Amino acid sequence: MRMHAKRSVLAASAAVAALTATGGAWAADAPAAVEELVVTAQKREQALIEVPQSISVVSGSDLENLQATTFSDYLKLVPGLQVVQANPGNARLVIRGVNTGGVASTVGVYVDETPFGSSTGLANGAILAGDFDTFDVARVEVLRGPQGTFYGANSLGGVLKFVTNEPRLGEQLMRARANLETTKGGGESYGAAAVINVPFGDTLAFRASGSYRDTAGFIDSIGTAGSDVEKDIDDGRSYGGRASLLFAPLDTLSVRLSMIAQNIETDAPTIAEADATTLEPLYDRLSQSQFVPQFSDVNYRVYNATVNADLGFADLTSSTSYSTQKQTLRDDLTFNLSGLIQAIFGVPNEFLLAQNTNLKKLTQEVRLSSKAEGPIEWLAGAYYNKEDGLIRQEFRAVQPGTLTDIAGLPVLGAVQLPSNYEEVAVFGNVTAHLGDRLDVDVGGRWSRNEQSAAQTGDGVLAGGPQSFSSKSSEEVFTYSIAPRFELSENASVYARVAKGFRPGGPNVVPPNAPPTVPRSYDSDSVMSYEVGLKAESADRRWSLDVAAFHIDWKDIQLFASVNGFGVNVNGGKAKSQGAEFNAAFRPMEGLSLSVNGAYTNAKLKDDTDPLVGGLDGDRLPFTPKLTLGLNADYRWALNGATDAFVGGSVRHVSDQSGAYDAAFRGANGRQREIDAYQVVDLRAGVDLDRFTIEAYAKNVFDSDGLVSTAAPIANGLPVYPNGAMGVGVIRPRTVGVAVTAEF
């Protein structure tokens, strides 16, 4: 009978290149065989080929090779993953099309053992996915399909997991990296990052990294309708670092303490004004009408203590995490609402929204996993989560050209929404090895959550003084079943049935609201059916991963206006089905090739609330039917310790539906459609032993792809001049150089 011995996790090494094959690890002097890739998708170390589900992995070396620092940079390597984004730090992740634009996330985000972001529909979790800097990250794992058994709430579409580099015992390391780049139509950007690893004897090691990036804007305010005249209004900065201490006094015991701090500061969002029908940019340029300067500051703080102990009969893991996520923003609502304020109070004004969104999250997970030495492997665990959220909004009329409040006006709008979420869960998983070739993996998770929320407010636009609260609770059971059959030592097929869910919760509405306004909304859930093939050559010079899936989604959570109250509601059903593949090939020493793609057919099966605007048969938003990614890298020796390398990537994104818009759907009989686009990246450089010099170009042919849309009408009034709507745009052609030094 085949034994399942445990394997050590590989850091940013050649192993990950076996899947992504972007060249960072297949150097000219690489061994003939590539090492086996190990992942932690099922919360224990497993060879990727033995995990019965669809997973993509991007290594830390590949992230550096691609100059990838944010979600949008490594989309080309992960089939089925999309990012809806109009501002750095404000991102909605979509996997396998599970998206209707609600306010709670459908993709779970983890940093090592820490779940990050809000579990509720009351703290904007859907658009505040943790976009962590990827410098000194070991790898990014993307688990497709519902992950309710191991990862619990909000993993309807899947999980994106950052795996950071651990401190290394007995090894001293120092690396530094700097880059400079310029963007068409914008200014110059620059960044720097460094990492150190310091051992203290044989049992203690410390690792710390820091980074700073200053990103130039490329969108102008050109004076439309009396707006400001200013260039590059969408510039931004991202800075922070990670620190980790590893203490391993025994072979059977280790304690890791970690801290992450990251600030993402941006000015205006990367939104351009476009024709509301064709989505073509107006005024022959990327422009946005700025009356009041905007900004969004998002701060992440993550603290974690992980203990691993070998108890002899099983391995014990305890993970304690505390994280905070704070966003402070200023939105320009001048064109939308200043005319209304002037009509009511008779004073010229510019108008803004100031908002704070805060989240504090404490989690504790304890689990036991069996030794991988017999016919049965098992894992059992318990989980606790407590979240405190707060949204605070203030509407202000200011003197034109300033941020000074206009004196003498009553309170226009001030609202606070504190919320609490508490969850307990137990989960387990068993893998039975039935003979030499057949495995059956079965898992389940029971959870209970309790929520409360209260809203207080005052002001002309908020309907006067108000104060009301609401509570909810629910229990949920999710499960997965996955048989796997080995065709050979290097190939297997599997099937997987899995359920995922997203918590429901309370709606905060006045006690005298009509009965048609729901006081709470239910959890929604998906059932996923997947079959797949994983294969690789004996020397791992080529690999293939193919999966086909069908997802049934019911009780879809939507954000709607019911009798004038903005609330979360449950809709009907949707489905998503398709296939994904990832193939990598190393035909000769130094040359690595990969191709990946996804076909996704995701549609509503029922009409949404009329004010949401989706009808039976409409495609789910921001889900292209076809995406393809091609990557190639070649590395060769020049002389001595000097190597040269070149590479390129192409990503194709087919047409897709924009955000649902009831008015547009009614007038045109369809949702807005975003045109297909392609993005080409190129790179080249030399490796001088301790120093690497690289040149790169992103979006070489200056594609004008769109990544978000917003309705042109809000509060019954136009948002931008001339009937325009705002569309999120990808970054124009960017050319840069980078230097890395290792000591």
pLDDT in tens, 436-446: 899 999 999 99
Write the CB contacts of 297 (distance below 8 Å, at least 6 apart in sequence): 263, 264, 265, 266, 327, 328, 329
Model confidence at 378, pLDDT cuts 50, 70, 90, reads very high
pLDDT in tens, 251-277: 999 999 999 999 999 999 999 999 999
In percent, how much of the chain has pLDDT > 70?
A: 95
pLDDT in tens, 450-489: 999 999 999 998 878 989 898 999 999 999 999 999 999 9
Alpha-carbon span 31 to 508, nearest angstrom = 61
Question: What are the phi and psi torsion angles at 282 (to 5°)?
Answer: -85, 160
Alpha-carbon span 78 to 597, nearest angstrom = 8
CATH topology of domain 14-742: Maltoporin; Chain A (2.40.170)
Q: Which long-range contacts (CB under 8 A, 24 or more apart) does 283-287 make?
A: 283/222, 283/224, 285/185, 285/220, 285/222, 286/185, 286/218, 286/219, 286/220, 286/729, 286/732, 287/219, 287/220, 287/221, 287/222, 287/224
DSSP state of 220: B
Q: What is the pLDDT of residue 564?
A: 59
Residue 603 bridge partners (DSSP):
575, 619
Q: What is the pLDDT of residue 50?
A: 87
Alpha-carbon span 73 to 63, nearest angstrom = 8
By C-alpha distance, which of 66, 132, 62 is closest to 736? Answer: 66
Residue 473: how many CA atoms within 13 Å on its side-chain side?
Answer: 5
Model confidence at 515, pLDDT cuts 50, 70, 90, reads confident
With 80 as the cut, is the pLDDT of residue 118 above it?
yes
By C-alpha distance, which of 395, 390, 392 is closest to 463? Answer: 395
pLDDT in tens, 653-697: 999 999 999 899 999 999 999 999 999 999 999 999 899 999 999
Q: What is the pLDDT of residue 519?
A: 83
Question: What are the phi and psi torsion angles at 213 (to 5°)?
Answer: -135, 130
Q: Which residue has the higher pLDDT, 14 or 292?
A: 292
Which two structure tokens, joined as six digits, stand for 561?
């206006």
Instruction: Tell me the pTM.
Output: 0.92
Alpha-carbon span 405 to 231, nearest angstrom = 26
By C-alpha distance, which of 623, 454, 645 is closest to 551? Answer: 623
CA dihedral angle for residue 283, residue 287, residue 293, residue 297, rounded to 10 degrees = 160
CA angle in degrees (0–180, nearest 5) for 316-319-60: 105
pLDDT in tens, 411-423: 999 999 999 999 9
Which two structure tokens, joined as six digits, stand for 434?
């039935």
By C-alpha distance, which of 126, 502, 116 is closest to 325? Answer: 116
Q: How many Cβ atoms are within 10 Å of 640's Cβ, its own excluded?
A: 8
CA distances from 312 to 43, 317, 575 (A): 19, 13, 46
With 90 as the cut, is the pLDDT of residue 559 above it?
no
Q: What is the pLDDT of residue 9?
A: 30
Alpha-carbon span 20 to 48, nearest angstrom = 13
Alpha-carbon span 656 to 478, nearest angstrom = 31
Amino acid at 651: R
pLDDT in tens, 624-655: 999 999 999 999 999 888 999 999 999 999 99
Write the CB contacts of 127 (distance below 8 Å, at least 6 apart in sequence): 90, 91, 92, 103
Alpha-carbon span 463 to 510, nearest angstrom = 11
Q: What is the pLDDT of residue 16?
A: 32
Q: Where are the beta strands (DSSP E) in 202-252?
A: 204-215, 221-222, 229-230, 236-250
